């Protein structure tokens, strides 16, 4: 369905983006991630899939893939966030590779909105 109506999807995304919505490609590097979509879709951010983050300290291939995603995002002018960061070692490895945005249990477990607002000082 996505491929059949790709131009229509791009147009709808452009309208939503003009209204201030931002788009992120979740789980980048797995599943249906396709490099040809990156040059055409009006996206703002790539999210490094947690499978690469999980093994980044112990597996050179995971580190190489994460670094490639970071460099690709930078080259395309996109933000890059690493998902599933659970340890300081993972965070530090990602920092060395040039990624400075993270999400995961190292920072907080999922929270109800009110608890999240309290955590953020809102």
Q: Annotated catalytic sites, by residue?
A: 83
CA distance linking residue 42 with residue 13, whole number of Å: 7
* Planar angle of CA 67, 70, 72, nearest 5 degrees: 105
Q: Taken in order 119, 96, 42, 9, is the CA torsion positive or negative? A: negative
Phi and psi at residue 79, in whole multiples of 5°?
Answer: -75, 155
Alpha helix (H) residue ranges in 43-87: 50-54, 60-75
Q: What's the CA gap between 9 and 18, in Å, rounded?
A: 14
């Amino acid at each position: 369905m996505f491929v059949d109506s790709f131009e229509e999807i791009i147009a709808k995304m452009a309208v939503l983006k003009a209204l201030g919505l931002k788009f992120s490609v979740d789980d980048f590097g797995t599943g249906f991630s396709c490099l040809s979509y990156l040059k055409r879709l009006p996206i703002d951010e790539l999210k490094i899939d947690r499978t690469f983050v999980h093994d980044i300290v112990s597996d050179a291939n995971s580190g190489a893939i994460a670094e490639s995603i970071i460099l690709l995002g930078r080259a395309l002018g996109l933000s890059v966030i690493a998902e599933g960061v659970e340890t300081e070692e993972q965070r530090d490895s990602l920092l060395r590779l040039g990624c400075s945005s993270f999400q995961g249990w190292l920072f907080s477990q999922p929270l109800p909105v009110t608890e999240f607002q309290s955590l953020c000082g809102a």
